[in-house]
Chain A
Amino acid sequence: MMGLLKRLWAVFDDRTGTSKLFGGALSHPVPNTTGWVGWSYALGSAVLFAFILQVVTGIALATAYIPSTANAFDSLVFITEQATAGRLLRGMHNFGATAMVVLVGLHMAQTFLVGAYKYPREANWLTGSVLLLLTMALSFTGQLLRWDQIAYWSVFVLAQQVARTPLIGTELTQLVLAGNTVNGATLSRFYAFHVFFIPALVFAFLALHLWLVLHHGVSEPPEAGRPVDPKTYRAWYHNFVERTGVPFWPDAAWRDVVFSLGVLAAVVALAVIVGPPHLEQPPDPTILEAYPRPDWYFVWIFAALALIPPAFEDLVILGAPLALGALLFLLPFVANKGERAPQRRPWAIAVVLLAVMMIGTLYVAGERAPWSPEFAAPPLPAQLLGPDPPPVVARGAVLYNQKGCEACHNIGGYGGAYGPELTEAGERLTREQLIIRILNGGEGMPAYAGKLTAEELEALVAFLESREGTEVGARERR
């Protein structure tokens, strides 16, 4: 039996040249690595695996998804609630995207830290950078295809940022929206980009990226005191990998397979346990009770948009991506030789730490979003006012809620976090200061002059004066 199979394979291979096509890739020598260094080499193939997972699950979902603004939401509800394995597939596509973004980030950080982008692998880094941008484009367009209320408003958020481009802002916006408004053509355009155009570019650049890996060979683990010298590196590497290397298949590839299986297990587990992203309200422009916010990968950008001073807004919105992009693409041109080992390149470690800290803190800030008004803040509970408050104070507490103060200010744990906490306002501010602040507003606060009657102002001030924080604080003050 085995003999027959072997003969069949021999004939097949002779007529198709299969092993000629793939043999070189499978047997090419790679550095012989062990331990966690060996596993770090599996990150790149894990990204490839995540992408293939996205293609496969995406094709399956596309058989039921309808890319029309009228039906997309309903088709997603159908996929999630009725289609066989639909919930699982949507979940896998969602967490597959998460896996791809995370793994791309890790792969890039690792490549940067060990200086693998240096001579002669500059083009590996450049094609990888393009793939990073394409991954971000895929994750953003994919989020819009959810076409619920959040996706609907996210299109406006995108369009409003694009509209800030000098000179051609309006034209670019028309291209993004496929017209002058969010309309029937908007979604089908995003769909075509998400499923055809961008993936086609990913395939092209992946092919190039993988070819370059074969062409230059997998970079060896760095060693301090062994700098890259373009004059001698190629010959040295060739000799090194011929002498000490192992064939890619199966000596190194087994780790890729195990790692990919681990990624798959995590994706499936999350898809089953957490499930696909909740479909918010339908994309009904008449429902304004919306809180548009991006998926987690863009929350940090959303936070940055809240925190940059308005004067620098255009500069940051348009300039920061350009500057970061320029750094990304210039890197291999300005630093393509010398030491690769991270311990000899402290600035490389600093850059990665800084990037992680920046994205991390902005992400945390974005998740807390203290700048978002708390529209649904309930009226202050009676116990905050203490027993038998004077009528004017009780009236002030009601106004405090009605006039929107509570949306941004916090008292005793109730209300928003945009403005300063007012739990101890009576201790911090005099009556005159309170009145000036309320009537004139401030940087982040509307002026209430003309919005309050004299009686209302009196009640509000009386209420705020009565806010003396803790019992202890109040007693001390007396």
Chain B
Amino acid sequence: MATDEAPRANEFGPPSPERREFLTRLSIGLSAVIGAVIGLPIVGFLLAPLFQRPEEAWRPVEPVSDLEAFRIGETVQVTILDPSPLAWAGLAARTSVWLRREAPREFKAFAVNCTHLGCPVRWLADARLFMCPCHGGVFYEDGRVAAGPPQEPLVQYPVRVQDGVVQILAGASPLVSE
């Protein structure tokens, strides 16, 4: 009966414990190499947003960017295009901004995101207040906190007027970090 025979050593003699130890280490080591070769590019791919240079670009405000379209003292909602929108971004490539002409050549542009948790604040023209629908945060017309949970004023974007066109410096989302 073949099964009753003890396993026969091959011509190189019986596998020694050292050889077993070596083969174990070799297999584990090579598996680690396989994992690293596959894993590194994937991890890099997933972490890619960390290595992105923060991009900024002056964008004309939309739908109308003509300086003379804005009345002094009036706060209006405009949108700007992201600095580098992806082709499939659709509406997500746009950002809303509250824009007010303060003086003939002076504008203020407020991020719509409440500094509490990022919900979009609305402008109450008669009360001259920004109010947040989520947790009742309120801001004065200059962006200072008026009431509610927010602790920081509304974030402002840089604005400029060039050749009669109102432009906003589009960049990272206005999130208030520690």
Q: Is the CB of B118 within 8 A of A160?
A: yes
A1 CB, min distance to chain B CBs, angstroms: 40
A358 to B50, CA, bound (A): 38
The one of B79, B89, B121, B135 in contact with A70, judged by C-beta atoms closer than 8 angstroms, is B89
A160 to B89, CA, bound (A): 21
CB contact under 8 A between A282 and B91, given known A153-B119, A181-B82, A451-B127? yes
For residue A290, CB closer than 8 A to chain B, the reply is yes
A407 to B130, CA, bound (A): 12
Q: Is the CB of A372 within 8 A of B175?
A: no
B142 CB, min distance to chain A CBs, angstroms: 11
Q: Is the CB of A166 within 8 A of B178?
A: yes
Query: Which partner residue on chain B sits nearest A290 by CB separation?
Result: B120
- Residues from chain B with Cβ under 8 Å of A180 in the complex: 49, 52, 54-55, 171-173
For residue A164, CB closer than 8 A to chain B, the reply is yes
Q: Is the CB of A402 within 8 A of B147?
A: no
CB contact under 8 A between A157 and B134, given known A164-B177, A179-B49? yes
Q: Is the CB of B135 within 8 A of A371?
A: yes
- Residues from chain A with Cβ under 8 Å of B119 in the complex: 153, 156-157, 290, 292
B74 CB, min distance to chain A CBs, angstroms: 16
Q: Is the CB of A69 within 8 A of B90?
A: yes
Q: Is the CB of B117 within 8 A of A161?
A: yes
- Residues from chain B with Cβ under 8 Å of A160 in the complex: 113, 116-118, 175-176
Chain A 133-167, CB-CB to B under 8 Å as 1, else 0, gives 00000000000000000001100110111011111
Q: Is the CB of B117 within 8 A of A157?
A: yes
Q: Is the CB of B50 within 8 A of A69?
A: no
The one of B79, B120, B172 in contact with A181, judged by C-beta atoms closer than 8 angstroms, is B172
B120 CB, min distance to chain A CBs, angstroms: 5
Query: Which partner residue on chain A sits nearest B56 by CB separation?
Result: A180
For residue A183, CB closer than 8 A to chain B, the reply is yes
A138 to B47, CA, bound (A): 21
Within 8 A of A (CB), among B106-135: 112-113, 116-122, 124, 126-129, 131-135
The one of B89, B176, B178 in contact with A183, judged by C-beta atoms closer than 8 angstroms, is B89
- Residues from chain A with Cβ under 8 Å of B47 in the complex: 175
For residue B103, CB closer than 8 A to chain A, the reply is no
A51 CB, min distance to chain B CBs, angstroms: 25
The one of A182, A286, A407 in contact with B79, judged by C-beta atoms closer than 8 angstroms, is A286
Within 8 A of A (CB), among B126-175: 126-129, 131-136, 138, 140, 146-151, 171-173, 175
- Residues from chain B with Cβ under 8 Å of A181 in the complex: 82, 95, 172-173
Query: Which partner residue on chain B sits nearest A155 by CB separation?
Result: B118
Q: Is the CB of B89 within 8 A of A404?
A: no
A294 CB, min distance to chain B CBs, angstroms: 10
Stretch from A3-11, A102-110, A267-275, A441-449 forming part of the interface with B: A441-449
Q: Is the CB of A185 within 8 A of B86?
A: yes
Q: Is the CB of B92 within 8 A of A184?
A: yes
The one of B86, B121, B146, B172 in contact with A441, judged by C-beta atoms closer than 8 angstroms, is B146
How many positions in chain A have a CB within 8 Å of any CB in the partner chain?
A: 68
For residue A71, CB closer than 8 A to chain B, the reply is yes
Q: Is the CB of A404 within 8 A of B127?
A: yes
The one of B54, B85, B134 in contact with A306, judged by C-beta atoms closer than 8 angstroms, is B134
For residue B87, CB closer than 8 A to chain A, the reply is yes
Q: Is the CB of B136 within 8 A of A446?
A: no
A460 CB, min distance to chain B CBs, angstroms: 12
A442 to B138, CA, bound (A): 12
A56 to B82, CA, bound (A): 37
For residue B88, CB closer than 8 A to chain A, the reply is yes
Chain A 391-427, CB-CB to B under 8 Å as 1, else 0, gives 0000000000011100110000000001000000000
Q: Is the CB of B79 within 8 A of A170?
A: no
* Residue from A71, A182, A186 with most neighbouring chain B CB atoms (10 Å): A182
Q: Is the CB of A446 within 8 A of B138?
A: yes
The one of B117, B136, B146 in contact with A418, judged by C-beta atoms closer than 8 angstroms, is B136
Within 8 A of A (CB), among B71-88: 77, 79, 82, 85-88
Q: Is the CB of A451 within 8 A of B92?
A: no
For residue A187, CB closer than 8 A to chain B, the reply is yes
For residue A432, CB closer than 8 A to chain B, the reply is no
A159 to B92, CA, bound (A): 15
Q: Is the CB of B49 within 8 A of A175?
A: yes
B128 CB, min distance to chain A CBs, angstroms: 6
Q: Is the CB of A305 within 8 A of B117?
A: yes
CB contact under 8 A between A402 and B126, given known A157-B118, A175-B47, A184-B88? yes
Query: Which partner residue on chain A sits nearest B87 by CB separation?
Result: A184
A70 to B54, CA, bound (A): 23
Q: Is the CB of B88 within 8 A of A70?
A: yes
A291 to B132, CA, bound (A): 9
CB contact under 8 A between A404 and B136, given known A170-B177, A181-B173, A286-B96? no
- Residues from chain A with Cβ under 8 Å of B95 in the complex: 181, 285
Query: Which partner residue on chain B sits nearest A66 by CB separation?
Result: B88
A11 CB, min distance to chain B CBs, angstroms: 24
Q: Is the CB of A69 within 8 A of B148?
A: no
Q: Is the CB of A402 within 8 A of B134?
A: no
Q: Is the CB of A446 within 8 A of B147?
A: yes
- Residues from chain B with Cβ under 8 Å of A184 in the complex: 85-90, 92-93
The one of A183, A286, A314 in contact with B82, judged by C-beta atoms closer than 8 angstroms, is A183
If A173-B177, A174-B52 are given as contacts, then 6 extra A-B residue pairs at C-beta distance below 8 Å, sorted by A number, are A160-B118, A175-B46, A292-B119, A313-B149, A375-B133, A445-B138
Could you pull out 7 A-B pairs where Cβ atoms are within 8 angstroms?
A: A156-B118, A184-B93, A292-B120, A310-B150, A373-B131, A446-B146, A451-B128
Cβ-closest 4 pairs across A and B: A70-B90, A184-B86, A184-B89, A446-B146
